[in-house]
Amino acid sequence: MNPVPNWMPPLSFATILTGVCVVGAAQADKLPSVIPQFFLHPVGFILTGLIAISCYEYNQLPLAVALVLFLLSLWSARHASVSSVSSVPTSNEGFQTFVPSGTIDWVNNEKQKWFVERVLKETPLGIQDKQVNTYPVQTESSGSFR
Amino acid sequence: MLSLIELSIGMVLVFILLTISLPMDVEYHNAVKRAAYNPAARLAACAAVVGLALYSPVLAFLGLLVVFFWMSDIQLLTKRRVE
């Protein structure tokens, strides 16, 4: 009698878990906040690290690497998002962390640099603020005479 | 004991690791760093590291370091929020 049910895919549990960890590591900044909250809690972090070490001991090296990569990606993404919310901006450089796709113009290598970029030796990755709205000076008396 | 192929791949990975965090004054770094925004590129890099682990633990560890710094660099760049 075959102990593996028919509905199971022809993959081991470790392989499936490795795939899930790889996808999770690649999409770490888009995961629901509950998942990083659990895995980055000291208990969850140490527990996952112990699982990774035991996987290494049981010759499941890909799963161990995937778990470590998943933890590091979560930590890195969380660190970036927390910094973007809590820190006081010290510079006008940088992009918003979560922006709709298509709102950043990527600077390709063929594009001729602006004068200020050449002078300041800047190599920007992209341009986010492409439009500047200016308005005429508004005074209290504009448009109405009392 | 590492074979010659493993050693050469390891040296290349260490070279990438050492140069990937340099200032972006070379166009090559600009393009490589920008690729970290692409989820498909990140997925491919993570899968490559796991695939490397099937062959050599040392190379997998080096690859893990490279991918981690590659993804962290672009997140460090974007962490400063424009108000």
More confident residue, A47 or A132: A47
User: Do A79 and B79 count as a contact with CB atoms less than 8 A apart?
Assistant: yes
3-state secondary structure of B71: helix
What DSSP character marks residue A105? E
Pick from B24, B49, B60: CB nearest A123? B24
Tens-place pLDDT, residues B27-82: 666 677 778 878 888 899 999 999 988 888 888 888 888 888 888 877 666 554 44
Q: Which residue has the higher pLDDT, B75 or A15?
A: A15
Q: Residue B68 in contact with residue A85, Cβ under 8 Å?
A: no
Phi and psi angles of residue B34, each rounded to the nearest 5 degrees, phi first: -65, -30
ipTM of the complex: 0.70
**pLDDT of the residue at B78:** 59
Confidence of residue A141 (pLDDT cuts 50, 70, 90): low
**Angle, helices B39-53/A13-26, rounded to nearest 10 degrees:** 140
Contact A109 B80 (CB under 8 A): no
Question: How would residue A142 be classed by pLDDT, with cut points 50, 70 and 90?
Answer: low
CA–CA separation, A21 and A25 (whole Å): 6
Query: What confidence score (pLDDT) does residue A70 get?
Result: 93
Provide the pLDDT for residue A101: 54
Taking the CA of residue A137 and the nearest CA in chain B, the distance in Å comes to: 23
Predicted TM-score (pTM) of the model is 0.62
Tell how strand A105-106 and strand A126-127 pair up: antiparallel
Q: Tens of pLDDT along A63-102?
A: 999 999 999 888 888 776 665 554 444 444 455 555 555 5
Instruction: Please calculate the CA angle A125-B9-B36 and round it to the nearest 5 degrees.
Output: 20
